[in-house]
Chains A and B, each alone.
Chain A
Amino acid sequence: MLDPEDWRCPTCLDLAYKPAVNSACGHVFCFWCLHKAMSPYAPSACPICRAQYTNLPAICPKLHQFLACQFPETYAARRQETEEEEEEIGAQSPEPQASGPLPPPAAPGQWRPQHFLCDSPRCGRLLCRPAVLICGHAVCRDCLPGSSGSGASSQGTPAAATAASSSLASSSPGSARGAYECPACRLAARQPPAVCKQLADLLGELFAEESRRPEAEAQAAQEARQAEEQAAAAASTGTAAAQGVNAGAAKGHPGLALQTPPPSASPAGDQPEPQEQQPEAAPGGSSQPGGQPPAQAAQQSLSPSLTSALRRRQAEGGAQQAMAERLEQSLRRMTAGEEYVWHGVGCDGCGQYPIQGRRHKCLDCPEAIGFDLCGACMDRGLSDIVGRFNQRHTPEHRMRSVRPRITAMHMLKAANPELPMEQLMWLLEMALAPEGEEGEEGEEAGQQQQQASEEQQQQQQDGQQQGGQQQNDQQAGAAGDGGGSELLPVLRRGPRPAYDPAAEEPSPAAYASHQPQQRTGQQGRVQGPAGGEAEGLIDEPAVTEVHVALERLLLHSGTGSDSGPSSGSGSDAGGGSS
């Protein structure tokens, strides 16, 4: 393990720089590489083993120190490369703190067990079967509090289970507080951390003697824990089975179900009255997860114009009615309480990406990438947190919770709850791709992607006939060669700045220059006095052009009415009154 090849990052194929360990499986990547491999819309899959992970881990200081001292020239070159790239994208990775009591060795190879001590204050011995946690701390697997098995799945309600077909909800039992808590910094993970095999192998090689001794003890401890875990697993088999079913269901993808019906002849006279269209008895109301006031949460997130658009659809009868009802039901479920997914927004406390449930945003961090916390991290309290991207956040900064908002991606997901997000993205990309791709194939049978893309194109054409200036521009952009390539990256994976749906411009640099104005705008809307606590809700400004265009496409094309999409100040006023 002293060969640089052993520490090659599997995605850039270079020496891993600022190594981050995917705690779900223990695989090691560069911090940036692991981030770029994440989906902004749904839980991500490890590039190597496809283990699902929901959190961007912090850099592991111990591995960072090891690589920097063991391979000084290569690591320095990697640093330079990465810093140039960071300059370009306008974001930074944090500098890892000291990794232990000993200063780094003077020369490569002079490693001592004190360089690799367990971070648990109750242990402090040489790491044994090390797990690197989402906070970057390394602890012996047996120094972790075992999964108690309680809590983890207690939140699941039948309704939540159906909504979980995305596999997102099912994988993140938001209430697993206390399970897998870091003994050093108390950050709780939602998933059990795995042993980092690379680090374990390194320790075995460096300290053959020392690492053999605790092995026997560890073995015994492990067996005891396994028995415990098995008992716990038996208790939650039900959930696991349900997940299996969902995964199976996702296989038979029926193509994009979200159809824009042909332009109806109905005149645009029936203007909606947004304020009054609040849902009194939504068709999906009965299936809401109990307890919470979900209806209220949904009211806040489904904008009046969106609601009225759906209502209009429902009134049109037939297939449209069914579709609109299904959509509204899914949307309400997706936006209620802990279900809402903040596409493209990550938590700077625990690294959850995308954030699910409550989101709290810092009003004062000037960095373009922003500073956000998930509900759990907000509740934990924060003092000297360093953001995942080195934001200089301080406890004096004002945090505000942000109101969930339906975007085109949520609608797409709501209309196709059985499709995994990755597949939706792919279908969408195909639909928006410059024409001539799958061209004059003409063979309809069996080719779902193609069908879907054709449907989507049909929708686009329908939409275009309806007019709407912005929409036309957007379509023209999508069809044109260069325009298409400008639009598409917004929909794909990639570094966080480009995907923040809150950013009006996809480019982080452009966003930075807009930021001050936006911030004052938001402050104006904040309710209640300023302070560290999250009282009033704030609304995020517009989503990207693509989102707006899609929204129009999906919801407004049949009506000809020019009521804008749910963003903008009009709907904010409605939300504020509740």
Chain B
Amino acid sequence: MPIDLGRVQKEIRDIDRDKASGVTIEVQGNSVQKLIGCLKGPRDTPFDGGIFYVNIELDDQYPFVPPKMRFITKVWHPNISSANGAICLDILKDQWSPALTLKTALLSLQALLSSPQPDDPQDAVVARQYMGSLAEYEATARQWTQTYAHAQQVVGLEAKVQQIVEMGFGREQALAALKRANGDENGAMEILLGA
């Protein structure tokens, strides 16, 4: 059975309408099964001021199986892999319910940023630091936010993505290449052309 298009479209419309929620979502290309979510770093956390992109993939059986989510923006957080953005959050796994939505999932990610759960870590190194020295953890997380998720950074990144997209590459491809090239657009182009 194909994915329930109606439901996904309703979800997207609902997120677009609700400007106050602080999360947005965007379709990649022409399939609604690949999306990019975006959320703001919560106030009074090391992620404050950051803008975080999340890659979202929907299985054909969505919403009866959870959406696959992974941070595109690099994050320093016990429940998020610092290497590949993989997320450890129960509602994205066995605690998913079909009554949850992409919006509630993105809001949960925002909540996860505010309240790490080091008992169930995704990134053991970060978790160890979090348990051992909170101040050190916060400093690193803040630094990562500034380096990878800061507004100017992101606005700049967005411009670079657009540039690459205009040259005929997919948005996700462009983002991934920029990530690998540490934000250097020439480096990203080399990666894309070399691949």
A residues within 8 Å of B by Cβ?
10-14, 33, 36-37, 45, 47-48, 50, 81, 85, 88-89, 420, 422-423, 425-426, 437-441, 443-447, 449, 489, 492-495
Q: Which residues of B contact A426 (CB under 8 A)?
A: 93-94
Is the CB–CB distance between A447 and B7 below 8 Å? no
Q: Which residues of A contact B81 (CB under 8 A)?
A: 438, 441
Q: Which residues of A contact B97 (CB under 8 A)?
A: 37, 45, 47-48, 50
In the bound complex, how far is the Cα of B195 from the Cα of A326, in angstroms?
Answer: 51
Q: Considering the complex, which residues of chain B in the window 68-99 have a beta carbon less than 8 Å from any beta carbon of chain A?
A: 81, 83-84, 86, 88, 93-94, 97-99
Task: Give per-residue flags for B28-39: 1 if the beta carbon is below 8 A from chain A beta carbons, else 0.
Answer: 000000000000
Task: Give per-residue flags for B1-23: 1 if the beta carbon is below 8 A from chain A beta carbons, else 0.
Answer: 10010110011000000000000
17 A-B residue pairs with CB within 8 Å: A11-B63, A12-B4, A13-B10, A13-B11, A37-B64, A45-B97, A50-B97, A88-B1, A422-B94, A423-B94, A438-B81, A441-B81, A441-B83, A443-B123, A492-B64, A494-B1, A494-B61
Given A89-B1, A492-B61, verify A444-B99 contact (CB < 8 Å). no
Is the CB–CB distance between B61 and A447 below 8 Å? no
Q: Which residues of B contact A444 (CB under 8 A)?
A: 124
Q: Which residues of A contact B64 (CB under 8 A)?
A: 11, 36-37, 492-494
Q: How far is the CB of A420 from chain B (nearest CB, A)?
A: 8
Majority DSSP secondary structure for residues of B touching A: loop
B125 an interface residue at 8 Å Cβ cutoff? yes
In the bound complex, how far is the Cα of B60 from the Cα of A414, in angstroms?
Answer: 30
In the bound complex, how far is the Cα of B10 from the Cα of A578, in angstroms?
Answer: 58
B177 an interface residue at 8 Å Cβ cutoff? no
In the bound complex, how far is the Cα of B59 from the Cα of A494, in angstroms?
Answer: 12
A-B pair number, CB within 8 angstroms: 82
Chain A residue nearest in CB terms to B68: A437
Is the CB–CB distance between B6 and A439 below 8 Å? no
Q: Which residues of A contact B110 (CB under 8 A)?
A: none
Chain B residue nearest in CB terms to A444: B124
Is the CB–CB distance between B7 and A446 below 8 Å? no
Q: Which residues of A contact B63 (CB under 8 A)?
A: 11
B65 an interface residue at 8 Å Cβ cutoff? yes
Is the CB–CB distance between A446 and B124 below 8 Å? yes
B26 an interface residue at 8 Å Cβ cutoff? no
B24 an interface residue at 8 Å Cβ cutoff? no
In the bound complex, how far is the Cα of B61 from the Cα of A66, in angstroms?
Answer: 30
Chain A residue nearest in CB terms to B10: A13
**Most chain A Cβ neighbours within 10 Å, of B1, B99, B120:** B99
Q: Which residues of A contact B86 (CB under 8 A)?
A: 437-438, 441
Chain A residue nearest in CB terms to B120: A446
In the bound complex, how far is the Cα of B125 from the Cα of A92, in angstroms?
Answer: 52
Q: Which residues of B contact A12 (CB under 8 A)?
A: 4, 6-7
Q: Which residues of A contact B4 (CB under 8 A)?
A: 12
In the bound complex, how far is the Cα of B66 from the Cα of A493, in angstroms?
Answer: 11
Is the CB–CB distance between B127 and A446 below 8 Å? yes
In the bound complex, how far is the Cα of B64 from the Cα of A423, in angstroms?
Answer: 15
In the bound complex, how far is the Cα of B127 from the Cα of A12, in angstroms?
Answer: 38
Q: Which residues of B contact A439 (CB under 8 A)?
A: 83-84
Q: Which 3 A-B pairs have CB atoms at the shortest separation, nearest pair first?
A: A47-B99, A443-B124, A445-B124
Is the CB–CB distance between B1 and A495 below 8 Å? yes
In the bound complex, how far is the Cα of B188 from the Cα of A411, in angstroms?
Answer: 48
Given A13-B10, A13-B11, A48-B99, verify A493-B94 contact (CB < 8 Å). no
Q: Which residues of B contact A13 (CB under 8 A)?
A: 6-7, 10-11
In the bound complex, how far is the Cα of B117 from the Cα of A446, in angstroms?
Answer: 12
